[in-house]
Amino acid sequence: MTRIYVSRDMASVALGADDVARAFEAAGCEVVRTGSRGLFSIEPLVEVEQDGTRIGYGPVGPGDVAAVLDGSHAARLGDVAALPFFAGQQRFTFARCGVIDPLDMADYAAHGGWRGLDAARAMAPQAVVDAVKASGLRGRGGAGFPTGIKWQTVLDAASDAKFIVCNADEGDSGTFADRMLMEGDPLCLIEGMAIAGHAVGAYHGYIYIRSEYPFAIATMQEAIELSALRIAPFTLEVRVGAGAYVCGEETALLDSIEGKRGQVRAKPPLPALAGLFGQPTVINNVLSLAAVPFILSEGAQAYAAVGFGRSRGTMPVQLAGNVKHGGLYEIGFGITLGELVNGIGGGTASGRPVRAVQVGGPLGAYFPPSMFDLPFDYEAFAQAGGLIGHAGITVFDDTVDMAHMARFAMEFCAVESCGKCTPCRIGSTRGVEVMDRIIAARNTTPPPADPPVGPFLKKALNSRSPSRINTGPEAQTALLRDLCDTMKYGSLCALGGFTPYPVLSALDHFPEDFGAPAPVKEAAE
Amino acid sequence: MKRMQQGIGAEDMARLVEDWASAHGRTRDRLLPLLHWLQEEIGYVDDMAVPAIAAALNLSRADVHGVVTFYHDFRRAPAGRHVVKLCRAESCQARGGAAMEAAAADRLGVAMGETRRDGQVTLEPVYCLGLCAVGPNALVDGRPVARVDAAALDRIAREIAA
């Protein structure tokens, strides 16, 4: 019987993979459902096993069964791993994703699974923490805090109850690596959490998954049942979010698990000392925890050997939005933004020129193509006024209105604010209003000139009475900058604190969309 | 997916909640799982359920109300028979999501965030389904749909009318 591999990833299913799988089953094939390889322009992808190797075809529809089976299908790709998109990658964390049946324990073990956990359990907890420190692994959720140091704090905390919490509340638009891993290699995450448990002395873990990921929730729950004996005495459970973006913030996430409103806690105390239920808690992103099995099985040096500056190891970069070859590309730090967007992503899907890319989700900065030589590195991005966040890159073509995107950033913050601190709760709503005035001023030709501002009017800039507000574009832009400054430095967490990144980067790099003249520097280039 | 229990009374509600709590625990951290279960069971979290939950988990009614209203997922009124969630986030916008949002409202005959008057469909915004390279994306009664275009909207509209 011919063996066929078809992805069960939510994105593949959204493109029709279930119908394709059913068609091959009806034709008498043995169908193995894997995770996604991570290149969505070839999904639904079908791989036919022939003499121990897999020949890929994609995209394939349910009517293509015969053509695929006799090898005459026009979309024949050959060995998928040899395609340029995959050959250039360094797959440490996603090595098994798209290759194995995610819920086959034997398949997992045959592909190097559990070797990290076995190695860790043969070591003293301190030695495991030292290995993670030596690997240089930094928090992949976006903050980039060294994972080993966090673990050390929890290991050193005296308590009989400690917890491992996995942050799988991947709410950033343009990111899907957590989802792909949980659907394509859930046992890898479980192994990473069990290693963390051994390293810090915790016996119970929670995986907090957003409700928008029904496939990941089901796959993780099944994988936890399957692996319960293998990871004992460590135990795990899934908690499902309820549509609140702010619960991706670690302290809000802890409150949500505790059954409260997902509101941000003031720090200190750090969650590492007083986290879930007031106990010492390791809270890490999916990708941080899933990187750990490799570090333990292959050695910290093997992981640290790859990277750039103080950013060690690999990053699963996600190419999203208006991009020709969108998907997941795991590569060592240091690759430039331009190589990712134009080289690997192949430019826009619409064929129009790239105008802007947003890196790091709704709280990440917008960059113009003139900054595409920026290397993918935590420090380099911070210096350029942005962040790599969860490494999602959303590509926009030249039809994008950057003032509209800046307004959306404020609107999103207003919708999702937890309401605890004023700069975020009120500032975001005022931000939408200011953006509306800037857009209105831009759209009236000629734009209204700023009236002469006396000392009285300056004070009245923040007045609620519309007649006393100076609605000229310059005054409103100044107000926007002032507001962003307050939000950035006055907010309790990254939601209010980072919303200024997309807003100000749009304003700085694309002033022409805000009714101001285009920057001279870019024109000279 | 949902078993609608129309016309459930306060007493039945209290019993339903109480049964769940005695089977699954009464600690505070059970609140979200209980709310998820209740919504799955009845289709929404009725205001009538709040005192029952407060009693079962030993919380104040204000506390329970605060949690129910904080999370976008919990509905306080029944949804339409079909629920279409359309992504509004940046990656879908980069692929023409805003135009699809307007087209969906037009094709399904209901404004974003509302339930159609005949109760047949609810159209809701969602902020990212994690299918960001193949947008605009939708979730139709829990089933993911990628690359939503006019033809896909026609199929969805036919599905809903059936």
Global ipTM? 0.95
| Percent share of chain B, pLDDT over 70 | 96
pLDDT tier, A524 (very low <50, low <70, confident <90, very high otherwise): very low
Residues of chain B with CATH 3.40.30.10: 82-161
* In the predicted structure, residue B151 carries a pLDDT above the cut 60: yes
CATH of domain B10-70: 1.10.10
Q: In one letter, which amino acid is A299?
A: G
Chain A residues within 8 A of B70 when measuring between CB atoms:
244, 261-263, 418
If asked whether residues A465 and A429 sit together in one domain, one would say: yes
Mean pLDDT across A91-118: 98
- The answer to whether residue A95 sits within a structural domain is no
Task: Give A256-306 pLDDT, tens digit per residue.
Answer: 999 999 999 999 999 999 999 999 999 999 999 999 999 999 999 999 999
Query: Which residue among A242, A260, A395 places its CB closest to the CB of B73?
Result: A242
B99 pLDDT exceeds 60? yes
Output the average pLDDT for chain A: 94
State residue A473's pLDDT score.
85
The 10s digit of each residue's pLDDT in A15-36 is 999 999 999 999 999 999 999 9
Contact between B55 and B14 (Cβ < 8 Å):
yes
Q: Do A256 and A354 fall into the same domain?
A: no
Give the whole-angstrom CA distance, residue B122 versus residue A376: 42
Question: How confident is the model over A135-161, as a mean pLDDT?
Answer: 96
pLDDT at residue number B96 = 95
- Please indicate, yes or no, if residue A296 is contained in any of the structural domains: yes
| Distance in angstroms (rounded) separating the CA atoms of residues A121 and A11 | 36
Query: If you ran DSSP here, which 8-state letter would residue B142 be given?
Result: T
Measured in Å, how far apart are chain A's first and last C-alpha atoms?
Answer: 61
Partners of B129 on chain A (C-beta within 8 Å) are 10, 212-213
Asked if residue B3 has pLDDT above 80, the reply is no
Interchain pair A394, B126: CB under 8 A: no
Q: Per the CATH hierarchy, to which homologous superfamily does domain B82-161 belong? A: Glutaredoxin (3.40.30.10)
pLDDT beyond 60 at A458: no
Residues A212, A299 within the same domain: yes
Provide the pLDDT for residue A519. 73
Q: What is the pLDDT of residue A471?
A: 79
| Average pLDDT of span B64-83 | 96
Encode pLDDT of B18-72 as tens digits: 999 999 999 999 999 999 999 999 999 999 999 999 999 999 999 999 999 999 9
A338 and A413 both lie in a single domain: no
**pLDDT computed for residue A525 by the predictor:** 42
> Reduced to 3 states, what is the DSSP secondary structure of residue A163?
strand
Query: What is the dihedral sign for C-alpha B128, B133, B138, B144?
Result: negative
Shortest Cα distance, chain B CAs vs residue A218, angstroms: 13
For chain A, percent of residues with pLDDT exceeding 70: 94
pLDDT bucket at B1, cuts 50 / 70 / 90:
very low
Q: Give B15-18 contacts, CB < 8 A, sequence gap 24+.
A: B16/B41, B16/B52, B17/B49, B17/B52, B17/B53, B17/B55, B17/B56, B18/B52, B18/B55, B18/B56
Residues B15, A370: Cα–Cα separation, whole Å: 64
Residues A194 and A266 in one domain: yes
A257 shares a domain with A342: no
Asked whether residue A237 falls in the same domain as residue A296, the answer is yes
Domain assignment of residue A431, given as a range: 402-524
Paired tokens of A43: 């999904």
Instruction: Give me the mean pLDDT over the A87-115 stretch.
Output: 97
Overall domain count for chain A: 4
Q: Please report, rounded to a whole number, the percentage of residues in chain A having pLDDT higher than 90.
A: 91
Indicate where chain B has its CATH 1.10.10 domain(s).
10-70
CA distances from B86 to A328, B125, B129, B138 (A): 23, 5, 9, 4
Say yes or no to pLDDT of A518 above 90: no
Question: Region A350-364: what's the mean pLDDT?
Answer: 96
Which of these three, A397, A424, A440, is where a domain ends?
Answer: A397
H-type helices in A444-472, by residue range?
Answer: 455-460
Note whether residue A24 is domain-resident: yes
Adjacency order of strands within the sheet including A204-209: A235-240, A204-209, A163-168, A281-285
Suggest the residue from A41, A210, A279, A394 to mutate for an interface test with chain B (most B CBs closer than 10 A). Answer: A394
B chain contacts of residue A174, beta-carbon cutoff 8 Å: 89-91, 132
CA-closest candidate to residue A252, choices B91, B56, B32, B136: B32
CATH number at residue A330: 3.10.20.600
Average pLDDT of A141-148? 94
In chain B, the residue whose alpha carbon lies closest to the alpha carbon of A400 is B94
Angstrom CA distances, A519 to A338, A369, A404, stand at 21, 14, 19
- The one-letter code for the residue type at A89 is Q
Q: In what order do the strands lie in the sheet with A327-332?
A: A327-332, A314-321, A392-397, A354-359, A366-367
